[in-house]
Amino acid sequence: MRSVDLESIHVPSEEDETVRDYLRSRDSLRLDLGRNRQRLMKFLLRTCPKT
């Protein structure tokens, strides 16, 4: 392998990892909130009589 074929890589710091974990958790919670909101709306439409 020639040295011109090598590429540098970035090893994330512990702080970078923490931020990435936080952002992934936040995104997961946001998606869960949307799904649960949709489930609640479907449930209410099925069970509550129209007025």
**CA–CA separation, 14 and 16 (whole Å):** 5
**CA–CA separation, 34 and 50 (whole Å):** 24
Q: Given this model, what pLDDT does residue 1 score?
A: 58
12 closest CA partner among 2, 1, 21: 21
Contact 21, 29 (CB under 8 A): no
pTM to 2 decimal places: 0.65
pLDDT tens-digit series, residues 1-51: 576 788 889 999 999 999 999 999 999 999 999 999 999 999 999 998 776
- Amino acid identity of 36? N
